[in-house]
Amino acid sequence: MKITDIKLFLLKTGTGGETGADAGESQYCGGGWAANSLIANPMTVYPKYAKLRTHWFGPGQDPYAIEIHTDEGIKGVCANYGGGPYACAVIEKHLKRFLVGESPFNIEKLWDQMHRATMPYGLGGILGMAISGVDLALYDLIGKAVGQPVYNLIGGKVREEIPCYVTIHPDDVEHWANSGFLGVKIAAPWGEADGRQGLKKMEQCIAKCRDVLGSDMDLMIDCYLSWSPEFTVRLADMVRDYDVRWFEDPLQNGWEIQSNADLRRKISPIMVAIGNLEFHYKAFHQIIVNEAADIIQPELQWIGGLTSARKIAAMAKPYNMPVIPHSSGVYNYHFVISNSNSPFAEYLVNGVGNEIVPAFEAVIGEPMPVDGRITLSDKPGFGVELNYDILEPYKG
């Protein structure tokens, strides 16, 4: 079997209630709470962009989809909620040459060639999103070729179902209490830019969430790179009585290894979870060996796909460091159900914030949590297909 062609797609304008980065909006967030609520973010320090975090998003935060075709009529697909037209351009103008004419079974070779060829201009970001789409589509293709679900290609099931926590805005916490999910992660509305008042508001917010959830559900806080070491330590001291499981991405991504390691020691027993916006397995290696996190959260659709995620999981295993992929979706679930060091998964609520809906409308057949748990079918590949009703061909 040989790869014969690569086809690329973008979301149609207006899909999901947002018009995309060209209009200063986000197609992926789809107009729900994640786009229209007060959420602290790296741009909160600038009042013009503080209220709605999607209004500063660029084309790299728009979605794209990919098909990989073969001479035997079998194709693999992937829909990625990051990369947009930039990732499509990288795939079409560069990565495609390493794929066409090759066997799709040689995933490690193809991944390594794409990685090495793009070193001169990037080790993550858009490059990671482009390679991720290719990698995940290749796994989908191979699964379909051999008639097996992807999780059987990477170790098989280590559990029959996946417990999940749910991610929402704090305004919607009450709806998810006693819902079967193991816990709730809230998007923090306030951060360093809000100063002392931000600390007080976050303390009140966390106290209210704990009161609503009771003592049987975990409570986590997504800080979205908007806190500082001082803000994080002071807030940790203020919320000791509310049994917070972790603070997620409190500091900016990049080279904050020592800062996160110091922070981890200072705020314990609250844990530090990071990795959402780290884009290369080498970055995770530094996090792991420097013990700069309690939990790492690679984004499978941004870090280079399953091939990269498996490298990260192998590095984390000797440290007994849990690998909980960021966000939700079928790609994450196949990884989690086959990785013994991934005890649960995230389910990110989209839309208005109070109902179970697919994480991403560009795929059809995504498994949904029932009573807070995901069960995967034995369909070949990832078991999903592209939703062509909302896609249009990438034209370059």
Section 342-359 average pLDDT = 91
* pLDDT reported for residue 25: 61
Averaged pLDDT for residues 177-181: 96
Residues 317 and 257 in one domain: yes
Lowest mean pLDDT among 26-35, 44-53, 93-102, 196-205: 26-35
In this prediction the pTM is 0.96
pLDDT of 186 higher than 70: yes
The CATH code of the domain that includes 198 is: 3.20.20.120
- 120 and 237 in a common domain: no
209 in the same domain as 267? yes
- Best CA proximity match to 128, nearest among 286, 256, 278, 330: 278
Catalytic residue among 69, 115, 326, 334: 326
235 plus 374 within the same structural domain: yes
Are 176 and 92 in a shared domain? Answer: no
- When pLDDT is averaged across residues 314-333 and rounded to a whole number, the result is 96
One domain for residues 124 and 273: no
**Do 202 and 342 belong to one domain?**
yes
Whether 135 and 176 map to the same domain: the answer is no
What pLDDT, on a 0 to 100 scale, did the predictor assign at position 36? 77
Containing domain of residue 46, as a range?
3-147+386-393
Tell me, yes or no, if 326 is annotated catalytic: yes
Residues 17, 165 within the same domain: no
DSSP states of 131-193? HHHHHHHHHHHHHHHHT-BHHHHTT--SSSSEEEEEEE-GGGHHHHTTSS-SEEEEE-S--GG
Look at 47-56, 62-71, 93-102, 175-184 and tell me which has the smallest mean pLDDT: 47-56
* Residue 311, pLDDT above cutoff 70: yes
Identify the CATH number of the domain in which residue 57 sits. 3.30.390.10
Which one-letter amino acid corresponds to residue 186? I
Cβ(63)–Cβ(81) below 8 Å: yes
Digit-coded pLDDT (tens) for 116-167: 999 999 888 999 999 999 999 999 999 999 999 999 999 999 999 999 999 9
More reliable by pLDDT, 70 or 351: 70
Same domain for 352 and 264, yes or no, is: yes
State pLDDT tens for residues 211-238: 999 999 999 999 999 999 999 999 999 9
Do 219 and 157 sit in the same domain of this protein? Answer: yes
The number of CA neighbours under 13 Å toward the Cβ of 373 is 10
Beta strands in the chain (DSSP E): 3-11, 64-70, 75-80, 162-168, 183-187, 218-222, 244-248, 271-274, 295-296, 345-348, 363-364, 373-374, 385-386, 391-393
Most confident of 8-17, 51-60, 345-354: 345-354
Asked if residue 191 and residue 262 are part of one domain, the reply reads yes
pLDDT at residue 26 in the model: 62
Domain count, the chain: 2
